[in-house]
Amino acid sequence: MKLIINKFPPITQRCEIDLSKKVTLFVGKNNAGKTYISQLIWGIYNFDNHKDKYFTFNTDIINTAFITSISSENYSITIDKNILENISKNYSGYLQQKVVEKVFKKVFDTDFDIVFEYSDFYDKEIDSGVIIGDYEVSYSKISQSDEFNIEISGLSVDLIEDENEKFQYDLLNRYLEGVIIQSMLGITPVYMPSTRLFLPSFYKYIYTMEKDLKDTMLDNFTRLNQENKSFFASSYTLPIDKLMDKLVFGIDNPQENQYLDKLTEIIEGKINIDKLEEISMADISYIHKSGEKLPMHLSSSMVNQLVTIYLYFKYWIEEKNNFLLLDEPEMNLHPSKKLDITELLLNFASKNKILLATHSSSIAKFIINYALLFDLKEKKDPDELNEFLIENDLNMNASISLKSNDIGIYYFNGKTISSYKQDDESNFHFGTFSDIEKLQDKQYDYILDEIENES
């Protein structure tokens, strides 16, 4: 699946992002669009939360490609590239007309397309169904096939002409298109902003104050006009609204996993949750490995920065098909902690997906080095590779199940987005990152030489 952008402020030149990658890294200048595009991608994958509105809105269905009349209770439809192209256009139009404004709480002049790849659909497995009127419709597709099988239960075969007159084909076709889109997305996105630092300490205050203020204002309104209604909209984008909802309503059903264990090592302690009642908001605190318990406002900036990621792995992670979109994972972290959290995320991505937007050259280089390691892994047997890593004290995890081609790295220059990986070659490079580092090395060398010359 690809995202092709012709215009999405501040991007004004055509660019393309491969959304099939397990690891996507955004690098580049400030105000170049990394955060906007990250949240757009969250909105693209958030189909589960607006699929019913999609069915209602999307009336430009390609009826000739699906069912227009009933001839029996079993059907088999071939989904070819032309059908997927039309579905891509339908979903792209829906995203631009309905989803962008909903995600960002403002109107954008945008021009972009989602392109569903035939090869991706061919690999999907589908097993679902829907009730339409008096009929139960089941549809399925096996992996490595383009045959979409449909079975209609409750059909009176002897009265096919009567059934054709009353069957709701438009609704059926919208559901069929929707389930194809859902299968192509097939993942649960969670977005975390770079402003994670304040959330653990102040989310209760922010949530309560906004609610109290709006309740007070509502009491004073005898009538609500459209202008008044805008007052009650959240101050944040939809992805951040959803994260706030998770903090308020999603702190239950804890689980254990390897990612949580590793994160406990990184923060050198555990995050503690206290709730007085089922419906109360949680008090979040930090328990250091020494046993000392601290409220979040007295905990280190590193702990505060990583709390929401900790909560994600403890409460919000799904059994499979997770997509974590993380803005500036390096914030408030020591260089060694940056590498630790990045390695954890790469390991997570071996079975899920991640998108990282970063200004950290150390994180970018670290991911490049792992891409090179994945290439080397293809050429050496495991024992030989581990011996090489140990002998040279490289401190890398060769057990991470990724390939270099699972990684997509994109540079934002303020006008467009450039891919820094072509085909299967590990030819990563970073324009401004490399330039700044070369300048710093040059400054150090020249000034040190001049000091020695003056001595």
Would you say residue 359 lies in a domain?
A: no
Full DSSP string of 178-203: HHHHHHHH--EEEEE-GGGGGHHHHH
pLDDT at 58: 62
Point out which residues pair with 149 in neighbouring strands: 76, 140
- Would you say 426 and 371 are in contact if contact means Cβ atoms under 8 Å apart? yes
Residue that has been written with the tokens 């829907």 in this structure: 130
pLDDT at 62: 53
Q: Where is the domain boundary, 163, 185, 207? A: 185
Residue with the larger pLDDT of the pair 444 and 201: 444
Q: Where is the domain boundary, 264, 294, 320? A: 320
Considering the domain architecture, whether residues 105 and 161 belong to the same structural domain is answered as yes
Range of the domain at 67: 48-185
Distance of CA 147 to the CA centre of its chain: 29
Would you say residue 391 lies in a domain?
A: no
> Could you report the per-residue pLDDT of 58-84, keeping only the tens digit for each?
655 555 567 777 777 788 888 888 889
- Would you say 295 and 325 are in contact if contact means Cβ atoms under 8 Å apart? no
User: d(Cα 411, Cα 384) in Å, to the nearest integer?
Assistant: 35
| Mean pLDDT on 71-98 | 87
Would you say residue 38 lies in a domain?
A: no
User: d(Cα 266, Cα 60) in Å, to the nearest integer?
Assistant: 51
User: d(Cα 26, Cα 35) in Å, to the nearest integer?
Assistant: 9
Would you say residue 418 lies in a domain?
A: no
**What's the mean per-residue pLDDT of the chain?**
83
pLDDT at 424: 45
Full DSSP string of 126-152: EEEEEEETTEEEEEEE-SS--EEEEEE
Contacts of 349 (CB under 8 A, 6+ apart): 22, 23, 402, 406
> Could you report the per-residue pLDDT of 114-130, keeping only the tens digit for each?
999 999 889 999 998 88
pTM of the model: 0.86
Would you say residue 347 lies in a domain?
A: no
Considering the domain architecture, whether residues 70 and 176 belong to the same structural domain is answered as yes
Considering the domain architecture, whether residues 141 and 261 belong to the same structural domain is answered as no
- Whether the per-residue pLDDT at 159 is higher than 70: the answer is no
165-169, 217-221, 331-335, 431-435: which range is least confident on average? 217-221
Considering the domain architecture, whether residues 212 and 167 belong to the same structural domain is answered as no
Q: Which helix (H) or strand (E) holds 229?
A: helix 226-231
Considering the domain architecture, whether residues 181 and 53 belong to the same structural domain is answered as yes
- Whether the per-residue pLDDT at 395 is higher than 50: the answer is yes
- Whether the per-residue pLDDT at 147 is higher than 60: the answer is yes
8 pLDDT band, cuts 50/70/90, is very high
Would you say residue 433 lies in a domain?
A: no
- Whether the per-residue pLDDT at 426 is higher than 50: the answer is no
User: d(Cα 378, Cα 424) in Å, to the nearest integer?
Assistant: 12
pLDDT at 399: 93
Considering only CA atoms, which of 300, 182, 324, 321 is closest in space to residue 243?
324
Q: Where is the domain boundary, 256, 290, 320? A: 320
User: d(Cα 162, Cα 156) in Å, to the nearest integer?
Assistant: 9
Considering the domain architecture, whether residues 226 and 169 belong to the same structural domain is answered as no
Please state whether beta strands 111-115 and 74-78 pair in parallel, antiparallel, or not at all (unpaired).
unpaired
- Report how many domains make up the chain: 2
| Mean pLDDT on 435-445 | 76
